[in-house]
Structure 1
Amino acid sequence: MGETQEGETLLEVVTSLGTLLLGQAETLLSSLLRPWVAYQLGIALVVFLAAALLRRVLGPRIREWMGTREGWPKWRMRVLVVAHQRLRAIFFVVLVWLVVWFMREVTWPSRSYVLGIIATLATAWLLVVFATRLIRSLFLRRMVRYGASIYVTLYILGVVDEAAELLDAAAVSFGEMRISALLIVQGVVIIGCLLALARFVTVTTSSRVQSNEDISPSMRVLIVKVVQIVFYAIAFYAGVRALGIDLTGLAVLSGAIGVGLGFGLQKVVSNLVSGVIILLDKSIKPGDVISLGDTFGWIQTLGARYASVVTRDGREYLIPNEDLITGQVVNWSHSNEFVRLDIYFGTSYGCDPHSVRKLAIEAAKSVERVLSSRPPVCHIVGFGDSSVDYILRFWITDPTGGLTNIRGNVYLALWDTFKENDISIPFPQREVRLLDRDGQQDDGT
């Protein structure tokens, strides 16, 4: 019985609103047939064509002028780009308001009433476009833009109450909770605007935190993440409360959903917690050079779920934070930037080992990236089957420049130095002898 009455009430509301809107449409149509309304529409059309002509003539020149503004901040250039994309609308708003002002000065206000409404609508739509550019998400931006444009249009035309009553009539109920189309529209607009404001605040705060050299890189990332979570949570909560939705009714449902998500998102939660631990203990920070298994590179960014590691060949690995906590990670620049590298080589037994060590150290010093403040050292590590084996150790401070290439440069320096000083590097040699069928050596005749 309740459902029948609710259905009849909805039908009555829709019927009455439809009759009202139909009557207003007939009134509007009849008013458009009046001479002074028709010529105002004609003037608006002429102004629109003039704005389009100005856009065609001045648009390329303004674009060229924008190309010369190299030293301007990015936010100012973005405003210019958006304004350039809306030049026709801007010209139309300026021209139509000039026409309205002129007509109000020389004739009766009723002769420019329609033009005033058109100018107000065009201005409101243009302001909505500029305001919604703060929203980063394309889908959310379009939703807020269309919703705000529809609202200001209804408000300027004076039919907000009728439209709100129609949207509120289209509703469904879940127990004590009632969700209507009006509530959904209001929610999209309000929450979208609050999220856009939260994003603006977080971006501004993040830029200031990132530019503060007194804060360590890991703490900068942690502060930025905390600020983002706090402001976005406040924006969402404030938006829901502004709509009048009681969150206590969702407590049981959210608890059940939370239990299910807890089992399904164990890895995700583990990575999130591991990311917080990494940021707090500062074991890994952006810019560090690490090696994890076969992956060698430097940390580009630390995310909430993974760390971005860029290798020398340009590949970007997204390593889960849990692997950085539980796995064995070599941080080449954890406490300082000094990195020691070892290379092995051998010389023949006929070469003086004292001279070999001295020449090897001089060869390593001649390489550009090898530190002279921490001089290289060379030691004998064993006597092999055909060579005396050595280890050459040297230090660098720029592991991001690569390890394989510096080792290769040191090997080349050793080769050149040994060649100039007649130091021979042994290599395996084999002697092949040919025997005849009787087991005698074949003399080749």
Structure 2
Amino acid sequence: MPEPRYRVAIVGAGPSGLFAAQFLTAHDDVEVDIFDRLPTPYGLLRYGVAPDHTSIKAVANALARVFDNPAVRFLGMVSLGRDVTRDQLLAGYDAVIYAVGASEDLRLRVPGEDAMGSRSAREFVAWYSGHPDAEPQSLDGVTHAAAIGVGNVAVDVARILAKEPLALDVTDMPEDVLAELRRARLTDVWVVGRRGPQHASFTTTELRELCRTPGVAVSVNPEAFDDVDDDALDRRTRANVAVLREASATEVADPRVRLHFVFWRRPIELRGDPVRELALERTALDADGRVVGTGETEAIDVELVLRAIGYRAVRLPGVPFDETLGVIPSERGRVLADGTVAPREYVVGWIKRGPIGVIGTNKSDARETVDQVLTDLAELGPRPDRVDLLGTLAARGRAPSTFDDWRRIEAAEANRGASHQRERMKIEAWHELLDLVQAGRPGGPIPPS
């Protein structure tokens, strides 16, 4: 293989970053270093896709082939701002691509939101997915729970709460997560949306799986379908409405859990601390198509409220950021600084376009950005004075984890799973991950941020 002429850094080892690496290394004159603050690649494929969705997680197996290419290196446990700066990355590479996703969630901004029992669905997902930064989630005393939002995150958390815990024993969930779910005594789960079912962003497969969960009886507030014009709906939305109608008309004898879809409602207050009641206001569309309150209110008894109304990206140290939109400003993937293209800087994924789309959306998004990278590299040429960034890190006692370290973690998870008659079981504790990284080197790994 010809000696690579160009070296590109990708910050973030999730799907968007890996798709970008895949497109870049289709060219023999490009090599890629993929940085991540965790010692584990794959981002939301590992820590965001529900553990019982093994078919979607199979995408990780395809993306793992990116690392089979000797022109690609995984450099884990390196955090932008803590271990390297934007300027150091730009000095060490011919191009830098930011692919860090969106790591914060939007808030309801209603009274009582900070009470005990009011939580982020993102944090809940991180917990059951075995993220090392996740806070333990107690379900003690929770019999009634509500997910606020009508996207796939709300569907996922509702399904995990409503599903028979024994059915999750085949997943890679950590054992302490499974133990907590086994102890839980959920009887009712609500999914609340401020618009109608025709406006929900569920994917039909996810919605159908939730509605057909064994032992779960589904109801939908009757007026939810009043203004639905089936002939005006696209294929996905029409299918979603059909799933909801069918599920709500299906009788389930002696249900273990009752699942309530409540449309045209918005939270206005969480009452009690810990939360004991969720107050909702009926909504409608005004003449301009905006959601407005009608003044008609009701309340449901809940001990757990999970907000799943969207994610937001976080500013990277030193990198341009639009606080209003929550993205790195860009033009077809080229980073903009004060409206001007920043040379050799690019962006992909949610931090480029906002937290919309599914995993596959990142592929076309990454292709667009990589096309700009390759065009610019051909014009600019390689940096004549590239700095050895790994040498700089080594001089400071920093040793990134490698893909071999990840393979060691992966093998340990398979061994842990085998002891429980499962394919694998997540290692969620930082100290265990660090010990596995340490086992592959004479020095010490970087401590987590």
Scaled to the shorter chain, the TM-score interval is under 0.3
Larger-gyration structure (1/2): 1
Which structure carries more helix by proportion? 1
TM-score, normalised via structure 1 length = 0.23
TM-score, normalised via structure 2 length = 0.23
Which structure carries more strand by proportion? 2
Task: Give the structure, 1 or 2, with the largest relative contact order (CA under 8 Å, sep 6 or more).
Answer: 2
